[in-house]
Amino acid sequence: MPNSGALKLFKLLGADGRSYDSPKRGAFGGHRGTKVYGLMTCKTAARYVAAGTYQKNRVFFADEAIAITAGYRPCGSCMPGRAADDARA
C-alpha cells in the first residue's frame, strides 16, 4: 500500500548494501560511486548536489558504523580526522 502521507519514510542503505525504508532520516550521506560517506552538512557534497551531478548516486545511512560496514570510507572534506585514521588502518 502506498504511503498515504501519515508517515514519511526515508530510503536508507543498510550494512549489507541493500536499501530499506525508515521513519528516521539518515544521519550520514554517501555516494554510491566513490564509496565515500560524510556529514549531512558537508560543503563538498552540497556543491555536487547543487550542480545536479550527485543525486542518482546519493545514499543515506542511519549511523557511521553502518556506512563503514557497507564498505564506505569517511569524507576527507567534512571528516578529515576520520579519513586520516581510515587511511592508516
Number of structural domains in the chain: 1
User: Which carries the bigger pLDDT value, residue 84 or residue 70?
Assistant: 70
For 18, phi then psi, to 5°, come to: -100, 145
Q: How far is CA 62 from the centre of its chain?
A: 8
Q: Which three cell numbers stand for residue 35?
A: 564509496
Provide the domain limits for residue 81: 10-88
Asked whether residue 1 is assigned to any structural domain, the reply reads: no
Q: Tell me: pLDDT of 89 over 60.
A: no
Asked whether residue 28 is assigned to any structural domain, the reply reads: yes
Task: Express as a percent the part of the chain with pLDDT over 70.
Answer: 85
CA distances in angstroms from 12 to 77, 87, 89, listed in the order given: 22, 25, 26
Asked whether residue 5 is assigned to any structural domain, the reply reads: no
pTM: 0.80
Asked whether residue 4 is assigned to any structural domain, the reply reads: no
